[in-house]
Amino acid sequence: MTSGSSSFLKKRVPRKTGCLVMLVLFAGIWAVFEIQAQRTVLAKPLAVYRDPDHRLPPNDPGAETNSDGLRCALEAEAIPEAATTVLFAGDSFIFGIEMNREGALPRLFERGLRREYPAQEIHVVNAAWPSASPLLALRLLRDVGVRYRPDLVLYGFDMSDFRDDLMYRNLIEKKGIYRIVDVMPASLWLAGRGAKAVIPDGLYQTIFRMPKDRFFAVNRSLGEAQQDLMPAWRTLEEIGRFCREELNADFRLIVLPRNFQYSDRESPLNWERGEYENLGPFVLEPFRFFDEKAASSPFPIHSLLPAFRDTDIFPTCYTGDPHWTPAGTQVAADALVEMAVRGGWIGEVKE
């Protein structure tokens, strides 16, 4: 070996070794960060990354759930076959944030139906939970729906569902950047948060496979948003097929308005303010989207926007939170009961 080669090795080997040591050290530090972040400061936001379904725990006194984790006083087997059963899915608006099970929309709807149909035994099962979406509702129906033998399935569609459905699908399918979600959830979460602040929407969408704006559906024109609205619509179509073919049940979509779509006075201090413009130019575009779909939809679509826009009740939402007050929940329940009676949603008494 020449003296020049020996000199080269003496210079290069330590440098390579140093880089390797630094790489191992960095990986170790990052691994410690991941573990600590998952256990402490990021434990709550990362819960959905670990379990995208994030269903309610069974037999939970706080959430008032049954053994299937549904906010229902009855177990599936306790509902008589002769009863008319409605399974109501959705997110926190249907679940009933800030209220007990008796005050939530499914229970108010049930009481209203029983007044209108006193000869029938009617049960409305609350199958909603906070931050759910159509995709998660479909997965729940596949797991436990048949046990409840529903005659009618309702899904309460919230304006955040368009993006939430994309997010949960990403976390479940684990494609692209989401391949790291099992081993580096904290890194993925931080990357998403950082990217929101520094890169344009188009690049964000390429990397993270969804718009960075949670309320893009009400902040864009229908033409601009249409492509990103379609995945949630396809999920709703799949729910309709599953109800028809597997549950032998009717399916109806209930589109829920947010307060900024019908008022500029509601919920002035809510934690989402700033993410949309009250009564802005595009806030009703999702309703136009569903109106266009209704002409060829395989299931009926009903909007609660007129009920909230026309009511004299104020406020319908909390001052510091976008969810319905008990009075707002009653507005929704009364409107649904009227629709059900007028539209013949509830069939004849079973023999």
Per residue in 153-173, pLDDT tens?
A: 999 999 999 999 999 999 999
DSSP at 209: S
Which sequence spans correspond to the domains of the chain? 3-41, 45-343
Contacts of 328 (CB under 8 A, 6+ apart): 308, 313, 315, 316, 317
Q: Tally Cβ neighbours within 10 Å of residue 204.
A: 18
88 HSE (CA, 13 A, CB side): 26
pTM of the model: 0.91
Q: Running DSSP on this structure, what letter comes out for residue 317? A: B
Place of tokens 């999702």: 286
Reported as a single tens digit per residue, the pLDDT across 210-246 is 999 999 999 999 999 999 999 999 999 999 999 999 9
- Burial degree of 311 (CB within 10 A; 0-12, 13-18, 19+): middle
* The pLDDT value given to residue 43: 85
pLDDT digits (tens, 9 = 90+) for 266-300: 999 999 999 999 999 999 999 999 999 999 999 99
Whether the upstream peptide bond of residue 211 has omega within 30° of 0, thus cis, is: no
The CATH number that domain 45-343 falls under is 3.40.50.1110
Cis peptide leading into residue 315 (ω within 30°) = yes
Residues with Cβ within 8 Å of residue 29, at least 6 apart in sequence: none
